[in-house]
DNA sequence: TCAATAACTTGACACCGTGTCAAGTTGACA
DNA sequence: TGTCAACTTGACACGGTGTCAAGTTATTGA
């Protein structure tokens, strides 16, 4: 399953993942992870040089498990225009809850750990790329509202579907995942796309 | 200026504020603040029991300086309907950059410090109240889009103008404050309000 | 069968930032 | 002159990260 075939390493990553999902990101200590993986705290450092690298490896591990890259490619290369926008929102917004635990931990230390910052920003810029391609597809099909340029539209879409907004709506506001998803679709359509009556009008 | 007339206390709060604005929130230590205020680190603890309380006091200090309460009341009680929505966005979104420094620090420790969490959530729920009253005013004037209920609209508006979204757009995306403000207005109108042609249509 | 090696263990320790404690200084005021 | 508040210096405990040294255990291959 994991790229390096190393059972202990995998057990560590799995432990890290589940702890981050269950406990709040901030009170998952190296010793907690070690205990859950059934090894000594020091043995962690035989596999990962520090906490940041362990968290980063955990996100990659999650990507592998869920095969996100494949799903994204399928979505991106099949649909066009509004359908691609809808597809992108479905795929990404349903992926957020799966990475939220480790994402929160990485976001928390990214202010203090340069390496973690780079790792997280790198992943988020991959999401921005998806936003960019989605907006491009809207433009190509004359479905982007004319008062938006590509850069602004991309930034706005990126912000709309940010992990922070998912966190805010589902954790603070108590929204369900389907409710969240419904409104991401609605908001994206309202903010970015030319509505049907507009087309008929022209 | 400050409620308690205590020059040293004020100097501490001012030092804390400027340090949080200039340096990144996370590497402002108690010793840094003390040094800048020209007192010993231990003297801080004569005025504030811990870091969290100091940060909380700093936000209150900022509120006093900027007289935010007064401005908000003026806005809220004069305008109605869409004008109130516009006014709310102007006032709040222009206030965010002033509190961002200390806000970021509070958000960072709110995962780990219960008291800080309560303080920050309390402030943010005050913002939610403003959102709520704004949406109510839209409803009263039949300007809220019919596919939204009050609770969802309030949550969405609250999310739209969250500090995190300001951070994302201005810090990550490099937007200017006026650009940010322009799009908050645009987005709010698109997401919440019945457009003029709709009214004519009915 | 023995030796080397990898993977792990135990235990100690340095570092950093927070918060606490005790004892001493300074200046104002009564 | 004495008292009190505000402050100082210096020491220390705590918790979490990361490091280091020395010892154990199981596998493997000459």
Domain borders along chain A are: 7-63, 67-201
| Residue from A194, A172, A195, A192 nearest A184 by CA | A192
Confidence of residue B90 (pLDDT cuts 50, 70, 90): very high
**Is the pLDDT confidence value at B14 over 60?**
yes
**How far apart are alpha carbons A163 and A100 in whole angstroms?**
7
> What does the alpha-carbon distance between residue B87 and residue B66 come to, in Å, rounded to a whole number?
17
Question: How many other C-beta atoms can be found within 10 angstroms of the C-beta atom of residue B112?
Answer: 14
A70-91 pLDDT tens trace: 888 887 778 899 999 999 999 9
Task: Indicate the range of A16-20, A92-96, B48-52, B195-199 predicted with least confidence.
Answer: B195-199
Rounded-to-integer distance, Cα A18 and Cα B161, Å: 32
Nearest CA-CA distance, residue B130 and chain A, Å:
15
Footprint of strand C on the protein (CB under 7 A): A 8, 38-43, 46-47; B 29-31, 42, 45, 49-52
Residue pair A62/A98 in contact by the 8 Å Cβ criterion: yes
B99-109, pLDDT tens digit by residue? 999 999 999 99
Q: What percent of chain A has pLDDT over 70?
A: 95
The pLDDT value recorded for residue B154 is 98
Task: Report the Cα–Cα distance between both ends of chain B, in Å, rounded.
Answer: 53
> Tell me, which fold does domain B7-51 have in CATH?
Arc Repressor Mutant, subunit A (1.10.10)
C-alpha A84/C-alpha A88 separation (Å) is: 6
- Summarize the confidence of residues A140-152 as an average pLDDT: 96
Record the tokens describing residue B81, joined without a space. 């309907």
Contacts of B168 in chain A (CB under 8 A): 158-159, 162, 164
Q: List, in order, residues 6 or more apart from B61 with CB less than 8 Å away.
A: B2, B10, B13, B14, B17
- The CATH class of the B64-201 domain is mainly alpha
* pLDDT score at A52: 94
Name the more confident of A27 and B76: A27
Which nucleotide across the nucleic acid strands is nearest to B44, CA versus C1'? D7
d(CA B179, CA B165): 13
Mean pLDDT of A42-46: 96
In chain A, % helix, strand, coil (3-state, to 5) comes to 80, 0, 20
Say whether domain A67-201 belongs to CATH 1.10.3720.10.
Answer: no
Give the CA A8 to C1' D27 distance in Å: 17
More confident residue, B127 or B26: B127
Q: What are A45's two structure tokens?
A: 């450092």
Decide: residue B78, CB within 10 A, 0-12 exposed, 13-18 middle, 19+ buried: exposed
Q: Per residue in B144-192, pLDDT tens?
A: 999 999 999 999 999 999 999 999 999 999 999 999 999 999 999 999 9
> Which residues of chain A make contact with B190, given a CB cutoff of 8 A?
190-191
Residue A128 pLDDT > 90, yes or no? yes
- Please enumerate in sequence order all residues whose Cβ is within 8 A of that of B44, keeping only pairs 6 or more positions apart, or say none: B12, B30, B33, B34, B37, B54
Local confidence band at A42 (pLDDT 50, 70, 90 cut-offs)? very high
Q: Tell me how far apart the alpha carbons of residues A137 and A172 are, in angstroms, rounded to a whole number.
A: 33
Cα maximum dimension of chain B: 69
Q: Is CATH 1.10.10.60 the right assignment for the domain spanning A7-63? A: yes
pLDDT value of residue B202: 43
SS3 for A144? Answer: strand
The nearest CA of chain A is from the CA of B53 a distance in Å of: 20
Residue of A nearest to B25 (CA): A111
Cβ of A159 within 8 Å of Cβ of B173? The answer is yes
- Identify whether the C-beta of residue B186 lies closer than 8 Å to the C-beta of residue A145: no
| Average predicted confidence (pLDDT) for chain A | 91
Tell me: the pLDDT tens digits for B58-80?
Answer: 999 999 999 888 888 887 778 88
3-state SS, residue B193 = strand
> Residue A195 has what pLDDT?
77
């Amino acid at each position: 399953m994991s790229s390096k075939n190393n059972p202990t390493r995998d057990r560590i990553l799995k432990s890290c993942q589940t702890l981050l999902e269950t406990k709040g990101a901030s009170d998952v200590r190296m010793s907690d992870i070690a205990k859950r993986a059934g090894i000594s705290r020091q043995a962690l450092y035989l596999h990962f040089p520090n906490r940041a690298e362990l968290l980063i490896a955990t996100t990659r591990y999650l990507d592998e498990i869920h095969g996100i890259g494949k799903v994204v490619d399928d979505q991106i290369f099949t649909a066009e225009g509004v359908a691609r926008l809808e597809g992108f929102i479905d795929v990404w917004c349903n992926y957020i809850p799966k990475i939220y635990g480790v994402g929160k931990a990485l976001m928390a230390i990214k202010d203090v750990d340069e390496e973690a910052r780079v790792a997280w920003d790198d992943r988020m810029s991959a999401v921005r790329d998806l936003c960019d391609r989605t907006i491009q597809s809207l433009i190509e099909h004359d479905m982007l509202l004319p008062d938006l340029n590509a850069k602004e539209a991309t930034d706005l879409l990126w912000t709309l579907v940010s992990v922070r907004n998912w966190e805010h709506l589902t954790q603070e506001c108590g929204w369900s995942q389907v409710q969240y998803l419904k409104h991401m679709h609605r908001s994206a359509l309202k903010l970015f796309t030319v509505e049907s009556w507009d087309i008929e009008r022209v």
